[in-house]
């Protein structure tokens, strides 16, 4: 243990040379950052930072002459920081599918009761199912070139190309193919899969190529489904996975289009999850751990003010046309007055 | 030689106890910044593209200049401790003034940086209005940027207050070779502020 009254623990010359060394290391880390070394950039930066930190701790903060207790005390904080980081990472990256529910996701869960309506979460679910059920033959990205494809005559369909689809390229028709299979090919019936999984697959497979024409009433008649009735038998609980919830939050905050149609429908898709089905508010919404509670609609707001708000920074809904915006604003105004 | 408080065996024991208290305080500081750093680490791994795009909007040159200012201020701080221990009152005071000047320069650069960010709408979470950066997680980067650098800047401000206090006591001759515990401990605090920046600079500006 150094006696602190027995003169300085660092000479002026050593302070200056250590300072010079720290500045050289700073120069090194800045210069290296301009060279693209891929992942190595991070490790070089971390290594230089640790070297600099060690110099500061060891010499400027005099840990080299300090009692061992103080070194242990300080290093303990770094140990706890590491534990904090490792446990949090394990939780975040290996959490698996925890289901969430709540008013915010009610709308999604009820849409899923009509699984023929494409939603981001159905597509996401379809992608997972695709990897298990289809990728072996149809390939990882749907180009019809999976590991088992070479053995098949006729070859598996290339989902990225629009032509040649035997039943037609629509969600309903892919659903039909999954139900019945395709005679004269290796495509068997997948009717044993739950209906929701088949719809999810249909939406995902269609999403691999360009946007197809919409399903008509006749298409639904062919597969024997009334699109106006709720059809799902599997998703009963209004719960969705965290991953789906995050995807949904992102889509709705960046103004992604989920629904086209009447102002009421648009309200239901874009607004109701946060503002309530009748605009009553009182729903906790947020992102990145920052939350706010919505207020009931303001009766005094003019149509222009509502449109400005829909397009404004809080919503950023940029995909609606002027007509759609006006219709939606009128709908909101009426909801506020009721 | 300054007399020590009666519950300490000697002036040296008193100094060692104060220093240990300082180390324990620095542990709490590590854990406070640690919370933000862990948050940064997790989100950077979750959204690497957004963080990479967002970090390009930070000025590396300004960050590097500030790193030079802070490291130099650590050097002048260490000199202040050395000169005080040697009993050189004027040299010690000048070193402290140098440290304060460098700290003030750091704040000036920070002001320039922050005003650019405000002007470009590169602000935390809901206040983010920049239209060039379209990735939805980009505001998150700026939330972390402002929280980490803001908390660090608060430490610089507090440190400057402490430096002024030390400067007055050094100039009046109160702190000298016989007794300089406050100088040494404020030095510890100041080096720690430098230490935090040593990690913040590469994490935010360089690797993104």
Domain CATH code at residue A160:
1.10.760.10
Q: What is the pLDDT of residue A9?
A: 81
Q: What is the pLDDT of residue A258?
A: 41
**Under the phi-then-psi rule, with left for phi > 0, alpha for psi from -120 to 50, and beta for the rest, what region is B135?**
beta
Whether A89 and B45 lie within 8 Å, measured CB to CB: yes
CA distance B79 to chain A (A): 6
CA distance A184 to chain B (A): 45
Q: What is the pLDDT of residue B101?
A: 98
> If you average pLDDT over residues A308-320, what whole number do you get?
68
CA distance A229 to chain B (A): 35
User: Does residue A187 belong to any structural domain of this protein?
Assistant: yes
Q: What is the pLDDT of residue A234?
A: 44
Any idea of the CA torsion for B7, B8, B10, B16, to the nearest 10 degrees? Answer: -160
Percent of chain A scoring above 70 in pLDDT: 77
Q: Which two tokens stand for residue A131?
A: 């990897």
Q: Is the pLDDT of residue B114 over 90?
A: yes
Which chain B residues are within 8 Å of A84, Cβ to Cβ? 34-35, 38
**pLDDT bucket at A167, cuts 50 / 70 / 90:** confident
ipTM rounded to 2 decimals: 0.91
Q: What is the pLDDT of residue A5?
A: 45
Whether B42 and A88 lie within 8 Å, measured CB to CB: yes
CA distance A141 to chain B (A): 22
Q: Which of A18, A84, A288 sits opposite B125 (nearest CB)?
A: A288
Which chain B residues are within 8 Å of A49, Cβ to Cβ? 198-199, 202
Q: What is the pLDDT of residue B126?
A: 78
CB burial readout A76-100, b (16+ within 10 A) else e: ebeeebeebbeeeeeeeeeeeeeee
Q: What is the pLDDT of residue A260?
A: 43
Q: Is the pLDDT of residue A3 over 60?
A: no
Q: What is the pLDDT of residue A4?
A: 46
Whether A287 and B23 lie within 8 Å, measured CB to CB: no
Most confident of A6-20, A182-196, B183-197: B183-197
CA distance A165 to chain B (A): 35
Length of chain A: 338
Distance CA A218, CA A178 (A): 18
Q: Is the pLDDT of residue B10 over 70?
A: yes
DSSP letter, residue A146:
-
Beta bridge partners of A42: none
Instruction: Give the sign of the dihedral formed by CA A114, CA A120, CA A124, CA A126.
Output: positive
CA atoms within 13 A on the CB side of B88: 14
Which chain A residues are within 8 Å of B30, Cβ to Cβ? 74, 77-78, 81
Which chain B residues are within 8 Å of A17, Cβ to Cβ? none
**Peptide bond just before A30 cis, omega within 30 deg:** no
Whether B202 and A49 lie within 8 Å, measured CB to CB: yes
CA distance A273 to chain B (A): 19
DSSP letter, residue B124:
S
Q: Where are the alpha helices (DSSP H) in B121-137?
A: none
Q: Is the pLDDT of residue A145 over 90?
A: no
CB A2 within 8 A of CB B179: no
User: Does residue A235 belong to any structural domain of this protein?
Assistant: no
Any idea of the CA torsion for A294, A299, A301, A304, to the nearest 10 degrees? Answer: 100
Number of domains in chain A: 3
Mutate to test the interface with B, among A2, A5, A247, A252 (most CBs of B within 10 A): A5
Distance CA A119, CA B88 (A): 74
The single residue listed with the structure tokens 């650590």 is B74
CB pairs under 8 A between A and B: 154
CA distance A265 to chain B (A): 25
> If you average pLDDT over residues A160-179, what whole number do you get?
86
Mutate to test the interface with B, among A21, A22, A74, A309 (most CBs of B within 10 A): A22
> Where does a domain end: A223, A257, A281?
A223
Beta bridge partners of B131: none
Whether A81 and B178 lie within 8 Å, measured CB to CB: no
The single residue listed with the structure tokens 């024997």 is A224
- Range scoring the smallest mean pLDDT among A13-22, A114-123, B154-163: A114-123
DSSP letter, residue A284:
E
Average pLDDT, chain B: 92
DSSP letter, residue A142:
S
Q: Is the pLDDT of residue A161 over 90?
A: no
> If you average pLDDT over residues A187-205, what whole number do you get?
83
Beta bridge partners of A292: A285
CB B94 within 8 A of CB B164: no
CA distance B68 to chain A (A): 7
- Residue range B55-104, pLDDT digits in tens: 999 999 999 999 999 999 999 999 999 999 999 999 999 999 999 999 99
User: Does residue A229 belong to any structural domain of this protein?
Assistant: no
> If you average pLDDT over residues B123-151, what whole number do you get?
88
CB A289 within 8 A of CB B39: no
Which chain A residues are within 8 Å of B67, Cβ to Cβ? 26
* Rounded (5°) CA angle A171-A173-A174: 65
CA atoms within 13 A on the CB side of A162: 4
Q: Which of B71, B187, B191 sits opposite A26 (nearest CB)?
A: B71
Distance CA A25, CA A292 (A): 45
> Where does a domain end: A165, A191, A223?
A223
Percent of chain A scoring above 90 in pLDDT: 18
Q: What is the pLDDT of residue A308?
A: 80
What is the chain B residue with the closest CA to A67? Answer: B16
Q: Which two tokens stand for residue A256?
A: 């992604």
What is the chain A residue with the closest CA to B75? Answer: A19
User: Does residue A150 belong to any structural domain of this protein?
Assistant: yes
User: Does residue A312 belong to any structural domain of this protein?
Assistant: yes
Q: Which of A15, A56, A81 sits opposite B79 (nearest CB)?
A: A15
CB A248 within 8 A of CB A121: yes
Q: What is the pLDDT of residue A247?
A: 60
User: Does residue A103 belong to any structural domain of this protein?
Assistant: no
Which chain A residues are within 8 Å of B199, Cβ to Cβ? 49, 53
Q: What is the pLDDT of residue A240?
A: 61
CA distance B107 to chain A (A): 19
Q: Which residues contact B47 (CB under 8 A, 6 or more apart)?
A: B135, B137, B140
> If you average pLDDT over residues A176-202, what whole number do you get?
83
Q: Which two tokens stand for residue A265?
A: 């429908």
The CATH superfamily label for domain B29-207 reads Cytochrome c oxidase, subunit III, four-helix bundle (1.20.120.80)
Q: Is the pLDDT of residue A81 over 90?
A: yes
- Residue range A225-279, pLDDT digits in tens: 877 776 654 444 555 666 666 666 655 544 444 444 567 777 776 777 778 777 7
User: Does residue A278 belong to any structural domain of this protein?
Assistant: yes
H or E, element range at B200: helix B181-200
**pLDDT bucket at B41, cuts 50 / 70 / 90:** very high
Q: Which two tokens stand for residue A176?
A: 């039909």
Helices (H) and strands (E) in chain A, counts: 14, 4
User: Does residue A303 belong to any structural domain of this protein?
Assistant: yes
Query: How many Å is the Cα radius of gyration of chain A?
Result: 30
Which chain B residues are within 8 Å of A4, Cβ to Cβ? 12, 15, 85, 180-181, 184
CB B139 within 8 A of CB B123: yes
Greater confidence, A248 or A198?
A: A198
Greater confidence, A266 or B154?
A: B154
Where in chain B are the domains? 29-207
Burial of A39 (0-12, 13-18, 19+ CB in 10 A): exposed
Q: Is the pLDDT of residue B124 over 50?
A: yes
Mutate to test the interface with B, among A35, A52, A286, A318 (most CBs of B within 10 A): A52
End-to-end CA distance of chain B: 51
Whether B78 and A49 lie within 8 Å, measured CB to CB: no
Distance CA A311, CA A319 (A): 9
The single residue listed with the structure tokens 């950077």 is B44
Q: How far is CA A327 from CA A207, A271, A324, B158, in A?
A: 29, 14, 5, 55
Which chain A residues are within 8 Å of B146, Cβ to Cβ? none
- Residue range A291-300, pLDDT digits in tens: 677 788 888 8
Range of the domain at A38: 12-93
- Residue range A29-77, pLDDT digits in tens: 999 988 888 788 889 999 999 999 999 999 999 898 898 999 999 999 9
Distance CA A196, CA A129 (A): 11
What is the chain A residue with the closest CA to B18? Answer: A70
Q: What is the pLDDT of residue A69?
A: 93
> If you average pLDDT over residues A143-157, what whole number do you get?
81
Q: Is the pLDDT of residue B161 over 70?
A: yes
- Residue range A171-182, pLDDT digits in tens: 888 988 988 888
Most confident of A68-72, A96-100, A125-129, B1-5: A68-72
Q: What is the pLDDT of residue A19?
A: 95
Q: Which of A9, A23, A30 sits opposite B60 (nearest CB)?
A: A30
Q: What is the pLDDT of residue A168?
A: 85
């Amino acid at each position: 243990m150094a006696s602190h009254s027995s003169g300085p623990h660092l000479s002026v010359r050593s302070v200056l040379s250590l300072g010079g060394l720290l500045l050289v290391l700073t120069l090194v880390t800045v210069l290296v950052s301009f060279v693209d070394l891929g992942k190595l950039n991070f490790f070089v930066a971390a290594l230089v930072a640790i070297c600099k930190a060690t110099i500061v701790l060891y010499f400027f903060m005099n840990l080299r002459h300090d009692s061992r207790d103080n070194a242990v005390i300080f290093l303990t904080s770094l140990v706890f920081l590491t534990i904090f980081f490792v446990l949090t990472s394990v939780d975040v990256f290996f959490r698996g599918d925890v289901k969430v529910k709540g008013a915010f996701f009610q709308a999604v869960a009820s849409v899923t009761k009509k699984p023929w309506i494409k939603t981001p979460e159905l597509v996401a679910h379809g992608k997972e199912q695709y990897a298990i059920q289809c990728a072996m033959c149809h390939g990882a990205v749907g180009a019809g070139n999976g590991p088992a494809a070479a053995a098949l005559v006729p070859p598996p369909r290339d989902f990225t190309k629009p032509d040649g689809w035997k039943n037609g390229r629509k969600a309903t028709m892919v659903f039909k193919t999954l139900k019945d299979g395709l005679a004269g090919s290796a495509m068997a019936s997948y009717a044993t899969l739950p209906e929701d999984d088949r719809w999810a697959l249909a939406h995902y497979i269609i999403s691999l190529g360009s946007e197809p024409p919409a399903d008509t009433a006749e298409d639904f008649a062919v597969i024997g489904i009334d699109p106006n009735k709720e059809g799902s038998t599997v998703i009963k609980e209004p719960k969705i996975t965290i991953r789906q919830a995050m995807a949904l939050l992102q889509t709705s905050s960046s103004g992604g289009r989920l629904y086209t149609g009447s102002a009421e429908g648009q309200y239901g898709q874009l607004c109701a999850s946060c503002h309530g089905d009748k605009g009553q508010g009182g729903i906790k919404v947020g992102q990145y751990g920052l939350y706010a509670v919505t207020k009931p609609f303001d009766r005094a707001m003019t149509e222009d003010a509502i449109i400005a708000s829909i397009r404004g920074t809080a919503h950023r809904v940029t995909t609606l046309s002027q007509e759609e915006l006006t219709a939606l604003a009128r709908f909101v105004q009426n909801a506020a007055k009721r | 030689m300054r007399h020590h408080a009666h519950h300490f065996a000697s002036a040296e024991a008193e100094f060692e106890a104060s220093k240990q208290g300082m180390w324990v305080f620095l542990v709490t500081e590590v854990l406070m910044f640690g919370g933000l750093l862990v948050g940064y680490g997790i989100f950077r791994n979750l959204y690497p593209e957004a963080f990479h795009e967002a970090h390009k909007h930070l000025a590396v040159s300004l960050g590097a200049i500030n790193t030079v200012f802070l490291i130099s201020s650590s050097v002048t701080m260490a000199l202040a401790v050395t000169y005080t221990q040697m009993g050189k009152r004027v040299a010690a005071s000048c070193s402290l003034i140098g440290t304060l000047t460098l700290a003030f320069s750091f704040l000036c650069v920070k002001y320039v940086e922050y005003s650019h960010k405000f002007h470009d709408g590169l602000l935390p979470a809901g206040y983010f209005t920049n239209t060039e950066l379209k990735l939805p997680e980009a505001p998150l980067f700026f939330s972390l940027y402002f929280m980490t650098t803001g908390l660090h800047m608060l430490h610089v401000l507090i440190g400057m207050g402490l430096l002024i206090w030390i400067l007055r006591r050094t100039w009046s001759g109160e702190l000298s070779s016989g007794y300089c515990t406050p100088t040494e401990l404020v030095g510890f605090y100041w080096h720690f502020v430098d230490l935090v920046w040593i990690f913040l600079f590469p994490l935010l500006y360089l690797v993104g």
